[in-house]
Amino acid sequence: MKSQSSTPILDALVECCDKETIHFDVPGHKGGKGLAYFDTILREKGLRLDINSAKPVDLLNNPSGVIKQAQALAAETFNADHCFFMVGGTTAAVHAMIMSTCKPGEKIIVPRNSHESVIKGLVLSGAVPIYVQPGISKRLGITNGVSMADIKEAINRNRDARAVLLMNPTYYGATSNISEIVRLAHSRGMVVLVDEAHGTHFGFHKDMPMSAMDAGADMSAVSMHKTGGSLTQSSMLLVKNGIVDSRSVMTTVQLMMTTSSSYLLLASLDAARKNLATMGDELVGRALELARDARNRINSIKGLYAFGGELINGDDIFGFDETKLGICVSGIGLSGFEVYDLLREKYNIQVELADGSNILAIVSLGDTRSDIDALVAALEDIIASHSGGKRQIEQPILINPYVVISPREAFYSPKRTVRLEDAEGEVSGESLMLYPHGIPIFAIGERITRDMIDYIKFLKKQSAVLVGTEDPGIEHIKILGM
């Protein structure tokens, strides 16, 4: 135990800053470079900007002044009818979308590669998931968007479903045919919700995929901090008039809201919106140009494959966000986890995530040409130092699980603890995610399979970060039953 005179978190943050790490992860402002106006104000005013609610700065829980004005400007910028600023991350926005739409026991059609926030939203709302298996890129070992045929089948089999939830895009940049799915769902009276955590910049450049609001979705949860430039944990919930009652949504948002909202987060949302509204095409275009240059240069390195728009197939990869720089490394004898660690420990480059075969670098508003040069040079050096021939990493892609009971019912059911190795065939009493990306390997209420157990063991050997279970070492897990 450290002494009371120590500050472990602050010390770690200062050390990270002093290293001057090159960031290809989130937040998208990349140390303030992508939001220079706000960065300057923060440097000048500092903690004096961290104030409590007062009349001149309005109140997030019942905005009538400057916050209401800022939210209206954001709604206009993102082609929405209403915007709610969120200071509990996009997780809170996702929870609010689901809870304001689905009552306990109502069905919601969901891609199985949805973020853990969706599962937690199901626990809170009591909604029952109808999972749709996403498309699979077997060469890369990753999941894509959902196909139109699979969504149509799910809708036809569940005509009583209340809503359809989509991702736009997936972590690696794939999008579904969102406008057609919206049209079909609306024709059946279903609400369309979109987890647009990584698609804030959609709609600001002609070469970006279509945004949820432009596609006519009823609500979308947008992580402004990921690719829009605001401070971490700041987000927005966008709403279109129509099937959804914005007043009901506001009531649910207030249920999820802290009564002590951070004005630093709110101000960063305001500044990031201004940035995109006034310079969005230029800023996103520059990020796109850098990503394309990096992709071309990386693809000239033997053994590496930086995948992109060539994957578009008009179905489960209907569109592709080229600022998501996914790089398959299985051709050089290293796993994605190993390359991730090398980049961080030897070259001081932080990428967003890794899996068995790939790494993901996110190029956003604050990146520069020198950042791209450093990434390419580091990859060239890794090839020269570590390439040992092709070694395909065995990375299973899990098919749709069997949902035994709803997440909410499972959450409140009696549970007991067993060894992971003995959990095959049992119903999970907790969820387990690889982080990032936060997509459950198994979610609460699902049947645990041998493939899931083997995948967890593989991830542990790769020193991957696993979260969600009571046992941090994942030697034991909770299952349903006494």
pLDDT(393) > 60: no
Averaged pLDDT, 111-125:
93
Domain boundary among 206, 240, 272: 272
Sorted by sequence, the CB contacts under 8 Å of residue 316 that are 6+ apart come out as: 134, 135, 144, 145, 146, 147, 174, 176
Categorize the per-residue pLDDT at 16 as very low, low, confident or very high, splitting at 50, 70 and 90.
confident
Q: In this structure, is residue 35 part of a structural domain?
A: no
Tell me, what CATH number does 435's domain have? Answer: 3.90.100.10
pLDDT of residue 17: 87
Domain boundary among 244, 272, 300: 272
pLDDT digits (tens, 9 = 90+) for 266-315: 999 999 999 999 999 999 999 999 999 999 999 999 999 999 999 999 99
Q: Which residue reads 């095409």 in tokens?
A: 281
Range list of H helices, 173-262: 178-187, 246-256
pLDDT digits (tens, 9 = 90+) for 330-359: 889 898 999 999 999 999 999 999 998 999
412 shares a domain with 264: no
Neighbours of 437 (CB within 10 A): 17
Structure tokens at 387: 């390439």
Element (H, E) at 326: strand 324-328
Comparison of pLDDT for 70 and 463, the residue scoring more: 70
Rounded to an integer, what distance in angstroms lies between the CA atom of residue 384 and that of residue 302?
10
Domain boundary among 252, 272, 292: 272
This prediction has a pTM of 0.94
Categorize the per-residue pLDDT at 387 as very low, low, confident or very high, splitting at 50, 70 and 90.
low
Categorize the per-residue pLDDT at 429 as very low, low, confident or very high, splitting at 50, 70 and 90.
very high
Backbone φ and ψ of 343, nearest 5°? -60, -40
Q: In this structure, is residue 173 part of a structural domain?
A: yes
pLDDT(385) > 80: yes
Q: What is the separation of C-alpha 214 from the centre of its chain, rounded to a whole number of angstroms? A: 20
Categorize the per-residue pLDDT at 317 as very low, low, confident or very high, splitting at 50, 70 and 90.
very high
Q: How many domains does the chain have?
A: 2
Q: In this structure, is residue 184 part of a structural domain?
A: yes
Structure tokens at 232: 């971490």
Q: In this structure, is residue 222 part of a structural domain?
A: yes
- How crowded is the C-beta side of 91, counted as CA atoms within 13 Å? 12
Tell me, what CATH number does 108's domain have? Answer: 3.40.640.10
Q: In this structure, is residue 381 part of a structural domain?
A: no
pLDDT(108) > 90: yes
Sorted by sequence, the CB contacts under 8 Å of residue 104 that are 6+ apart come out as: 125, 126, 127, 408
CA distances from 24 to 28, 95, 462 (A): 9, 28, 21
Q: In this structure, is residue 363 part of a structural domain?
A: no
pLDDT of residue 398: 65
Give residue 462's domain range: 407-480
Q: In this structure, is residue 288 part of a structural domain?
A: no
Q: In this structure, is residue 254 part of a structural domain?
A: yes
